[in-house]
C-alpha cells in the first residue's frame, strides 16, 4: 500500500488525520469530530455574547486549540437598531401577509423569546461584539460567510488567527484571497445554507485555478467518501461539510427533524430567499411556498425578512410541528438513510474515499 491519499496539505495545516472539516452548531458534534480526527468549526452566528464565550471555553477544554468558530457577517447589515426598532420599519403589507400565513397553517405563537432574532446580520454592532469575543478568546480559526469586515483581517492577523472565507463564486474567492484569507471554502450551489448559483463540480476547480498557493476546501453536497475523493480530484485540499452531521447520534437537531431529513432526497430541498432575504438551501416548507406565490409581497432584504420569518419558525420549532419546520440541508441529503455516530461517519467518509482513490490506480 502506498502513501495515504487523504494525507493532504489541509491535514498538515490543521494537524488532523483526515481532510474533513465539520461545520456544526452543536458542540457535542464538534468535540466528537475532533476525537475522530477531523477539524470542528462551531457555527455561532445565532448565539449571544455569553453563549459564544461559554461555547468557546467548553470546546477548548475538550479539543485544545484545534477548532474554529464561524460567524455570518453580511457587509450590508444596518449599523444600529434593536430588532424591535427594525421590526417597526417593516411595511404593514408584509406583516399582514406573514400573519395570514401563520393563520392558514395554524402556526402557534412562540413559547418564549424569539432566539432567531439574535443574529449578527441584524445589526453591525452585534456582529462587531461577536467578532470581539472571538478575537479576545484568540479562537484559532475564524470562518465567515457572506464577507467579513476589513478590521477583522487586520486584527486576526495580528493575533495569529487563521481566517477562512466561505465563497460561492470565483469573484468572491479572488476578493477574499486578495484581502488575505488563509483558506477559501468553495461552497457550491448544492450546499445547505446561503449558497451561490454555481454547482460544486464547476466551482471548486475554477477557484483552485485562480487561488495560487491558497488552499481551497470544497463544500456543498459532500455526504459520502466518493464525494470526498472527487473533491480531492478537483484540486481541493479537503472538504467542509454540514448536512452529513445533522442526523448523527450526537447532534442536537430535534429527533422529529432528524427523521424527516433521513427520509428526504436532494429534490426535497429548495433554494429560497424567503427566510433571510438572502438565498439559502433548506428543506421545503410552507412559509417558502407561500412567499413564492404571485400574490405574495416582494421578499424583504436582510435582515427584515429574517425578522418576519423568525416568529413563524420559532412557533413551529417550539410546537415541534415537523410539517411546518425546516432546516438548512444540502442536496447530498439523499445519501443519509440511518443515524450514525460522528466517529462512524468520519470513518465511513475516509474509508470509502481511500478505497475509491486506490481503486483508480489498481
Ligand atoms: C443546519 C446548517 C446551518 C448552517 N448555518 C451556517 C452558518 O451559520 N454559517 C455558515 O457559514 N454556514 C452555514 N451552513 C453552511 C455550512 O457551513 C456548509 O457550507 C454547508 O453545510 C456545506 O454543504 P453541505 O451541507 O451539503 O455539506 C449551515 C449548514 C447547515 C447544514
Q: Is the CB of 20 under 6 A from ligand 1?
A: no
Q: Spell out the per-residue pLDDT of the chain, length 362, in tens.
A: 568 999 999 999 999 999 999 999 999 999 999 999 999 999 998 888 899 999 999 999 999 999 999 998 766 666 566 777 888 899 999 999 999 999 999 999 988 776 555 555 566 777 788 899 999 999 999 999 867 777 888 899 999 999 999 999 999 999 999 999 999 999 999 999 999 999 999 999 999 999 999 999 999 999 999 999 999 999 999 999 999 999 999 999 999 999 999 999 999 999 999 998 989 999 999 999 999 999 999 999 888 898 899 999 999 999 999 999 999 999 999 999 999 999 999 999 999 999 999 999 88
For residue 125, what are the CA distances in angstroms to 39, 119, 120, 150, 224? 29, 11, 8, 15, 39
- At residue 257, φ and ψ (nearest 5 deg) are -75, -40
Residue 98 near residue 132 (C-beta atoms within 8 A): no
**pLDDT attached to residue 72:** 83
**Contact yes or no for 346/38 (Cβ under 8 A):** yes
Domains of the chain: 9-357 (3.20.20.70)
| CA dist., res. 34 & res. 4, Å (int) | 20
Q: Is any ligand 1 atom within 6 A of the Cβ of residue 40?
A: no
Instruction: Determine the residue of 23, 167, 218, 231 to mutate for testing ligand 1's pocket, defined as the one with the most ligand atoms within 8 A of the Cβ atom.
Output: 23
Give the closest residue (by CA) to ligand 1 atom 28.
193
Is the CB of 166 within 6 Å of ligand 1?
yes
Q: Global pTM?
A: 0.95
Q: Report CA torsion sign: 333, 338, 344, 348.
A: negative
Decide: 24 and 353 in contact? Cβ < 8 Å: no
Q: How remote is the CA of residue 359 from the centroid of ligand 1, in Å?
A: 31
Polymer length of the chain: 362
Residues 15, 188: Cα–Cα separation, whole Å: 26
According to DSSP H, which parts of the chain are helical? 9-14, 27-35, 49-63, 83-88, 92-104, 124-136, 150-158, 170-179, 200-210, 225-233, 255-262, 286-291, 304-318, 342-361
Q: Is the CB of 332 under 6 A from ligand 1?
A: yes
Q: Which of 60, 59, 64 lies closest to 29 in space, CA to CA?
A: 59
Contact 29, 22 (CB under 8 A): yes
Q: Is 250 exposed, middle or buried (0-12, 13-18, 19+ CB in 10 A)?
A: buried
Burial category of 61 from C-beta neighbours within 10 Å (exposed 0-12, middle 13-18, buried 19 and up): exposed
Question: What do you get for the CA distance between the two ends of the chain, in Å?
Answer: 11
Q: Tell me how far apart the alpha carbons of residues 8 and 353 are, in angstroms, rounded to a whole number.
A: 13
**H/E stretch holding 186:** strand 183-187
**Alpha carbon 17 to chain centroid, angstroms:** 22
Amino acid at each position: 500500500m502506498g502513501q495515504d491519499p487523504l494525507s493532504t496539505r489541509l491535514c498538515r495545516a490543521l494537524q488532523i488525520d483526515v481532510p474533513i472539516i465539520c461545520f456544526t452548531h452543536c458542540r457535542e458534534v464538534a468535540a466528537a469530530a475532533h476525537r475522530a480526527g477531523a477539524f470542528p468549526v462551531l457555527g455561532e452566528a445565532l448565539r449571544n455574547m455569553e453563549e459564544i464565550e461559554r461555547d468557546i471555553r467548553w470546546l477548548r477544554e475538550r479539543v485544545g486549540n484545534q477548532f474554529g468558530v464561524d460567524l455570518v457577517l453580511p457587509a450590508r447589515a444596518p449599523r444600529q437598531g434593536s430588532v424591535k426598532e427594525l421590526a417597526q420599519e417593516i411595511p404593514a403589507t408584509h406583516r399582514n401577509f406573514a400573519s395570514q400565513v401563520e393563520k392558514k397553517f395554524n402556526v402557534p405563537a412562540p413559547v418564549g423569546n424569539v432566539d432567531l432574532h439574535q443574529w449578527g446580520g441584524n445589526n453591525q454592532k452585534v456582529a462587531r461584539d461577536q467578532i470581539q469575543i472571538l478575537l479576545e478568546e484568540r479562537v484559532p480559526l475564524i470562518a465567515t460567510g457572506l464577507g467579513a469586515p476589513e478590521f477583522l483581517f487586520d486584527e486576526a492577523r495580528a493575533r495569529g488567527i487563521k481566517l477562512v472565507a466561505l465563497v460561492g463564486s470565483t469573484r468572491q474567492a479572488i476578493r477574499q484571497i486578495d484581502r488575505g484569507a488563509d483558506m477559501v471554502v468553495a461552497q457550491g450551489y448544492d450546499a445547505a445554507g446561503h449558497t451561490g448559483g454555481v454547482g460544486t463540480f464547476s466551482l471548486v476547480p475554477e477557484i483552485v485555478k485562480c487561488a495560487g498557493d491558497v488552499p481551497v476546501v470544497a463544500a456543498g453536497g459532500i455526504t459520502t467518501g466518493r464525494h470526498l475523493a472527487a473533491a480531492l480530484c478537483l484540486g481541493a485540499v479537503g472538504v467542509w461539510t454540514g448536512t452529513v452531521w445533522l442526523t448523527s447520534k450526537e447532534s442536537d437537531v430535534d429527533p422529529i427533524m432528524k427523521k424527516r431529513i433521513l427520509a428526504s432526497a436532494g429534490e426535497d430541498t429548495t433554494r429560497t430567499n424567503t427566510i433571510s432575504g438572502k438565498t439559502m438551501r433548506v428543506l421545503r416548507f410552507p412559509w417558502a411556498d407561500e412567499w413564492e406565490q404571485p400574490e405574495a409581497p416582494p421578499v424583504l432584504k436582510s435582515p427584515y425578512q429574517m425578522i418576519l420569518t423568525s416568529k413563524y419558525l420559532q412557533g413551529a420549532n417550539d410546537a415541534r410541528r415537523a410539517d411546518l419546520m425546516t432546516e438548512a440541508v444540502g442536496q447530498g441529503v439523499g445519501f443519509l438513510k440511518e443515524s450514525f455516530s460522528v466517529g462512524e461517519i468520519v470513518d465511513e467518509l475516509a474509508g470509502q474515499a481511500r478505497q475509491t482513490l486506490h481503486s483508480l490506480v489498481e
